[in-house]
Amino acid sequence: MDLSRSKYLNTLQLKLIAACAMFIDHSMYTFYPYVYKLRTIGRLAFPIFAFLVAVGYQKTKDLTLYMGRMLLFALIAQFPYERMINLPGINPNVIFTLFFGLTAILAIEKGSPFLKFTVPVLLMLGAELMAFDHSAYGVLMVIALFYAKESKLLTAIWIFVLTILFSLQYLYLGGLSNPGWYIVLFYLSTIPLINLYNGRKGLSNSFTRWFFYVFYPAHIMLLVILKSVL
């Protein structure tokens, strides 16, 4: 069956699903931070965005502009993100993680044999040491989904393997009392959604192109303001 001609999920629809899941997750984190079960739906967001960033590398007409937009909005979002999570130190937001993943793909695809190996390793190490959202796992997810290409089986395998490893990391660090180990297992629910991707953009114009970049810092700012006044 030619999925590109069938009524499956396009890029815009996947972005909307991921954005809604992210908004629910961040809302629960802001107002009910210790009710962990309410945050499970948010696990839909990251694997979908990682997949779409990998797709974006292949389809963008201007990689420099694509990466520049991503870095710009990562910087814009950082201050409200720090206010929302309210953790000590600097904790780079998820757009930085996606940007590192994209940079790693660029190094592997265009770099010398030395850079093909060292740059991705250094980026994953940096994401882990600097406490990026989703850490090294997130960077590796972008890389893995890029090299899964259009294979739905490889996509499913990579998401499964990386999710299990991430869950085991939570178990190792905090044991069964750490809710992270079972929350991240809900990343597996993205497999059927991503495997319904039909390769099409869906509605594409200036509004849809910029909306999701603006949405990330905007919805975080909104939640921070609401928490301060309620």
* Structural domain for 27, as ranges: 3-229
The mean pLDDT value of the chain amounts to: 93
Question: Tens digit of pLDDT for each residue in 147-160?
Answer: 998 899 999 999 99
- Give 1's pLDDT tier (boundaries 50, 70, 90): very low
Q: Which two tokens stand for residue 8?
A: 């499956």
Amino acid at 25: D
Amino acid at 131: A
The whole-number pLDDT of residue 36 equals 85
Question: Tens digit of pLDDT for each residue in 115-174?
Answer: 999 999 999 999 999 999 999 999 999 999 999 988 999 999 999 999 999 999 989 988
- Give 7's pLDDT tier (boundaries 50, 70, 90): low
Q: Which two tokens stand for residue 95?
A: 């757009």
How many domains in the chain?
1
Q: Residue 215: which of 18, 10, 9 has the closest Cα?
A: 18
State phi, psi for 146 to the nearest 5 degrees. Answer: -65, -45
**Cβ atoms < 10 Å from Cβ of 29:** 19
